[in-house]
């Protein structure tokens, strides 16, 4: 996202608190390209308790992509961390935006708010029923965005992102682990039978959606999906074709995981012209190419 804006001449201020969901060195490595631009500044600050008023005042658009991610890790004692980084941080940012209702905010919500949806593809008017504490916090933050928008006139676009993947993905995510396993010869763990389906959405399509939503006067909630529903087994087969045989370890289905997801993207298409352009095969090939370059650099 940041690099896309910088390439088009935007001045960008990145904010991150370097939470411990994965290694700090990985996050710093992802910042290297952005830091090579003169029109990029980075500020290490915690959204939950930092002073955000100046950032909002000096911005034309706020892209709120920060969160504590992960369905499986959100159970148990870590739930307090999810409340802090997903709910309190969002409320703090929205409170700073109250003084500047002309500033547009684009919030990255999640398909996890639906849980196991009652119909597919799933439209935005389906009643949310999250199946994990993570999904609960993302839905709560979404409701906060709506409340501040109605009460204080903040123009907010909330995009429910469906299973985002692509180069430089978080190392704990399934496709990152899948590509690394194929390259290293290590086994890849699949939770469940692998027939669970997802609306896999390439990161480049998500970036375009975020930017188009920021340019549009539209406010509301919209699904952002990849345009097709594929199984995890399909992804494993594609990686096998790209890199060779994979060793698979089967694990029991994980608590909180939805069996299937599929996005009805008609709202986003009508509101700001969203159209996914990247197939699952092309997206996974891009991940493979990036990981190979990274391995060679090491």
CA 209 to chain centre: 12
CA 133 to chain centre: 16
- In the residue annotation, 22 being an active-site residue is answered as no
Distance CA 2, CA 97 (A): 21
Q: Is the peptide bond before 121 cis (omega within 30 degrees of 0)?
A: yes
Burial class (CB in 10 A: 0-12, 13-18, 19+), 151: exposed
Catalytic residue among 82, 107, 114, 134: 134
Q: What is the CA radius of gyration of the chain?
A: 19
DSSP class of residue 152 equals H
Distance CA 116, CA 71 (A): 13
Q: Is the peptide bond before 35 cis (omega within 30 degrees of 0)?
A: no
Element (H, E) at 91: helix 89-97
Distance CA 34, CA 296 (A): 21
**Distance of CA 12 to CAs 6, 26, 34, 145, 193, Å?**
7, 21, 9, 22, 43
CA 298 to chain centre: 27
Active site residues: 134
């Amino acid at each position: 996202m940041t690099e896309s804006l910088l390439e088009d001449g935007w001045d960008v201020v990145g904010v991150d608190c370097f939470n411990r969901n994965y290694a700090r060195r990985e996050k710093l490595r992802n910042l290297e390209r952005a830091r090579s631009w003169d029109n990029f500044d980075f500020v290490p600050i915690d959204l939950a308790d930092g002073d955000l008023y100046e950032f909002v005042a000096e911005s034309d658009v706020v892209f709120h992509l920060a969160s504590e991610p992960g369905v499986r890790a959100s159970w148990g004692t870590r739930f307090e961390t999810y409340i802090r980084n997903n709910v309190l941080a969002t409320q703090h940012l929205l409170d700073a935006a109250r003084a500047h209702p002309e500033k547009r905010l684009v919030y990255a919500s999640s398909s996890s708010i639906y849980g196991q949806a009652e119909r597919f593809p799933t439209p935005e008017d389906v009643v949310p029923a999250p199946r994990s504490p993570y999904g609960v916090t993302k839905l709560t933050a979404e409701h906060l965005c709506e409340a501040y928008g109605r009460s204080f006139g903040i123009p907010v676009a909330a995009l429910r992102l469906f299973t985002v993947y692509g180069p430089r993905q978080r190392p704990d995510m399934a496709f990152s682990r899948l590509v690394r396993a194929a390259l290293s010869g290590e086994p890849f763990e699949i939770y469940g039978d692998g027939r669970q389906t997802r609306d896999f959405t390439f990161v480049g399509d998500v970036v375009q959606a975020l930017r188009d939503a920021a340019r549009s006067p539209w406010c509301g909630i919209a699904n952002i999906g990849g345009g097709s529903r594929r199984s995890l087994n399909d992804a494993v087969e594609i990686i096998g074709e790209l890199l060779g045989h994979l060793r698979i370890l089967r694990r029991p289905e994980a608590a909180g995981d939805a069996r299937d997801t599929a996005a009805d993207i008609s709202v986003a298409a009508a509101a700001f012209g969203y159209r996914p352009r990247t197939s699952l095969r092309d997206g996974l090939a891009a991940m493979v190419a990036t990981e190979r370059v990274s391995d060679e650099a090491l």
